[in-house]
Structure 1
Amino acid sequence: MNNSGLGHKIYSYLLATYKWYLRTPERSLDEAYNAALEIQKLENEYFNGNKIGSDLTPHSSSVMDYFESNLKKQLRIIRMRLTEFRASRFFVNESNQKSIKKLGIEHLNPSIVLEKLRFIDEVTTKYTSSDEDIITREPIDKAPDPQIEALAVEPKQSNIIKRNLNNNGRRIQSKGKTDTTGVLPRSIFNTINRLQIELDPKSEQDVVQNFRKAQRRTIISVRFLLLLIIVPILTHQLSKAFIVGPIVNHFKSSEEAAIFLNYEMEEQALLELQRFEEKIKFQNLISSNITPSEKNIEIQVREKALEIAEEYRLISANAIKNVFADILSVIAFIWFLLLSKKEIAVLKDFLDHVVYGLSDSAKAFIIILFTDIFVGFHSPHGWEVILEGISRHWGLPANHDFIFLFIATFPVILDTIFKYWIFRYLNRISPSAVATYRNMNE
């Protein structure tokens, strides 16, 4: 009776979970729709139906921060729930459609779905270009604009860049150095332009707008970097605990399963058992008690051998789990990158502002630190430790021939890439940083 009651509870729980899974598309779409309604409510009540953040309504900076934080929260909910909606709709097949009818769950009306999606698009379209507006610089493989370098030093000169943009937001081709040569030095004209900016009554609004744009770019970049670290680690741990682990334990549960994955594990186990046996004999020789018989020593050694075998069986199973969990982590990492094209562009722009905003001595210090760690004189020892650790992580024997060949080639290739980057890009962008790097390296 107890077993039947327990089975009924398990069946009810599984049935409720399956119903919850089948209602995922409807639930995700409703949450995204409600978030869009909240955004529209804020627009109608506080911004006269205009976009949140519009300059047409007089609000203080603290009030605007509250509205913008609430807007970001609702946009995040919409983005996550629409992704969940698309993914759940993708996995709903014909068998699920039949199950929906059998369980009495109302099917989504296509006209209602399209109406909600159209409303969500109308609300979010006004804010989708905000992340793209953060990107103001050109790709790094092109020659940098001197005015952008001046922007990294003096943010107040942003209006100078705006004057060089046409109505479509495209940069007007700058003139060559021979065309810009005049009677007076260019620094005098730069000083006059800076004074004009400081006397402009709208300069304060431009500074605030640029600061908010930089703040938004920093938040997006830091959050994206954290997700790049968290997503693979979390995928590895969860898949290892709930997917790969049970499957491997099921096939490795047999006592006849292989204990050692490679000969190095076997050698380590034999060495550990040999040391244990010698330790017992040594303790018996220096002890004042009666020396135990060889049979007792053999029993202790046998118990230790069984303990070592169980330990290495777990190590072998864990290594197999790591292989499949790492594969799933790489897949999750690549999938996350494919879904984050805008965030990657924002991160690239953020790194450009950070790296090229550093002083020459800071650039030289970072380059020397990076090159000495990975391609320096002591780097082979580090690469050897890393490769041996990866081999143990996957349960593979450490192939020293491959390790030595890797150390003899990869750091050399990496050093060549560094030198080419310094010669090709850094020498053109910041010659003083290259000179500082050479002086520090000497």
Structure 2
Amino acid sequence: MKNTVFSQKIYPFLLDAYIWYLLTPERSLDTAYQAAIQIKEIEDKHFNGNKIDSEFTMHSTSVMDYFQGDLQKLLKTVQMRLTEFKASRWFANESKQKAAMKVGIEYSSPASILEKLEFIDQITSKYTNNDIDANYKNVNSQPVESSTDLVNSPQFIPKTSNKSPKNITKGKTNTTGILPRSILSTITRLQVELDPESEQNVVKNFRKAQQRSIISIRFILLLIIVPLLTHQLSKALIVGPLVEHFRNEKTVEVFLNGEMEEEGLLALQRFEERIKFEALISNAPALGAEELETKMKEKAEEVKKEFRKESDNAIKNVFADIFAVITFTILLLVSRSDIAVLKDFFDNVVYGLSDSAKAFIIILFTDVFVGFHSPHGWEVLLEGISRHWGLPANRDFIFLFIATFPVILDTIFKYWIFRYLNRISPSAVATYHNMNE
């Protein structure tokens, strides 16, 4: 009886462990495959589909160190899991495969396994010891083994670099030796300066940076000039004639909203008061009722034409702005490559600034948009937009917007500082806090 109870408790545990053991090749290969996918995502997102190399981007040293850390972790994961995959397949003979089928385990098809291995080879074959050490200053990385060799051969043969190990440059943070690091870095710098190809590399990098700057500035000018030209041309050639045709003076009201009407009334009152004031100062005889009424009618007609023109202009602005937004959106959709170059340009400019300059820009931005005096600026901006479109300035909406949007913007900005800037440039964050205090 005791043996039966013992077997009922222990047998499920042993079965789960055995199933876990049989699934080791699948699990190891999937883990290595997912790590290779992450490397591919970093290449596509930040290096335009190229290998993670400073040659293919203009990121700062801090940003490259961040990508370096992720690359080393992912390559190490690929290496360890492929080794585990090779070792587990060594013991996965035909009898164990039959046992796996009995417990309901279905292995992936050979085609699926080969497809994953080919993808892993395609990604990891770009990176060798020389590439990683020379570009990222890290000597802890190990060569990545060929995954197809792990399947086709029982022996593990690591892929080695064709270059001489003497060319490997050791990183500052990972090197421990007899000589001080400053001497080693000086020797490395002299080697670079004495390299016959160093001048060509400098010229190549300069031309790449120059081309990136030209493309970015040109794209920024296009994003500004093209929508403005579209706005003015559509307003003058398309929207303007249509609005003037349908807004007939006999059928359409002069004022679009009550605020315009109050402004027109205030203009007439000031005109009447000015006439009386000038008469009193000049000691001239007072104007008769008929003369005053005639001048008031002339002024009213002038106010009418002025506000009718302003109302027509507001309606034209609405449709012209729609055309400008459509043009701006089309530019963004058809210029994805330029957007990637522009992003690299801004990254290089922003992260290339000193810590004090970064802190200065952050404080200036936050004080203007979310600081103590920012509500007045938002109020002027919203009232200007309302007048541009001929809408009445809703004070309740403006106050509600001022009470919520700057707070949301401040929260997003603080999250950006905590989540990204604190990781990429912690010294800039420390400088920002010191200046802000």
TM-score by length of 1: 0.62
Three-state SS of the structure 2 residue aligned to 1:145 is: helix
Q: What is the identity, as a one-letter code, of the residue corresponding to 1:296?
A: E
Q: Summarize deviations over 1:395-434 as a string: whole Å, max 9, x none.
A: 0000010000100011111111111111111111111111
What's the secondary structure of 1:258's corresponding residue? Answer: coil
- Structure 1: which 5+ residue stretches go unaligned? 1-128, 150-164
Letter in 2 for 1:183: T
Bigger-Rg structure (1/2): 2
Name the aligned partner's letter for residue 345 of structure 1. Answer: A
Identity among equivalent positions (%) equals: 66
- Structure 1 residues 424 and 148: alpha-carbon distance in aligned structure 2, compared to 1, 3 A threshold: closer
Tell me the residue number matched to 2:64.
Answer: 145
CA distance in 1, matches of 2:256, 2:427: 55
Q: Which residue of 2 aligns with 1:241?
A: 236
The Cα RMSD (Å) is: 3.1
Closer, same or farther: CA 147–380 of 1 in aligned 2, 3 Å: closer
Match of 2:247 in 1: 252
- Number of residue pairs matched? 296
Q: For 2:400 and 2:54, how far apart are their aligned partners in 1?
A: 45
Unaligned runs of 5+ in 2: 1-48, 69-122, 142-172
Query: Does the CA contact (< 8 Å) of 2:254 and 2:311 recur in 1?
Result: yes
- Whether the 8 Å CA contact 2:383–2:393 is kept in 1: the answer is yes
- The answer to whether the aligner puts 1:272 opposite 2:246 as a matched pair is no
Confirm or deny that 1:221 pairs with 2:216.
yes
Q: State whether structure 2 residue 193 is matched by structure 1 residue 193.
A: no
Q: State which of 286, 292, 314 in structure 2 corresponds to 1:291.
A: 286
Q: Distance in 1 between matches of 2:286 and 2:262?
A: 30
Does residue 391 of structure 2 align to residue 391 of structure 1? no
1:183 match: 176
Alpha-carbon displacement from aligned partner over 1:156-186 (angstroms, at most 9, x marks no partner): xxxxxxxxx9875898597989876342365
Using a 3 Å threshold, how does the CA distance of structure 1 residues 177 and 441 change in structure 2: closer, same or farther? farther
Checking the alignment, whether the CA contact within 8 Å between 1:322 and 1:394 is kept in structure 2 is: yes
Question: Matches of 2:248 and 2:328 in 1, distance apart?
Answer: 31
Q: Secondary structure at the match of 2:196?
A: coil
Q: Which of 191, 204, 211 is 2:199 aligned to?
A: 204
Residues 21-420 of structure 1 mapped to structure 2, 5 A cutoff? 136-137=56-57, 144-146=63-65, 168=126, 181-184=174-177, 188-420=183-415
Q: Which amino acid aligns with 2:64?
A: D
Q: 1:197, CA displacement in angstroms? A: 1.2
Distance 1:437 1:178, change over 3 A: farther
Matched residue SS, 2:384: helix
Could you tell me whether the CA contact under 8 Å between 1:134 and 1:346 is conserved in 2?
no
**What's the counterpart of residue 104 of structure 1?**
none
Give the residue type in structure 2 aligned to 1:387.
L
Given candidates 406, 416, 421, the residue that maps to 1:421 is 416
Q: Offset of 1:290 from its aligned partner?
A: 2.8
- The one-letter code sitting in structure 2 at the alignment partner of 1:284 is A
Q: Which amino acid aligns with 1:323?
A: V
Instruction: Describe the shift of the 1:254–1:260 C-alpha distance in structure 2 as closer, same or farther (beyond 3 A).
Output: same
Name the residue aligned to 1:98: none
Shift of 1:278: 1.6
**For 1:319, what is the secondary structure of its paired residue?**
helix
TM-score by length of 2: 0.62
- Give the letter for the 2:57 counterpart: R
CA displacement at 1:187 relative to structure 2? 5.0
Instruction: Measure the CA separation in 1 of the matches of 2:435 and 2:368.
Output: 16
1:135·1:345 contact (CA, 8 Å) conserved in 2? no
**Alpha-carbon distance, 1:135 to partner:** 8.4
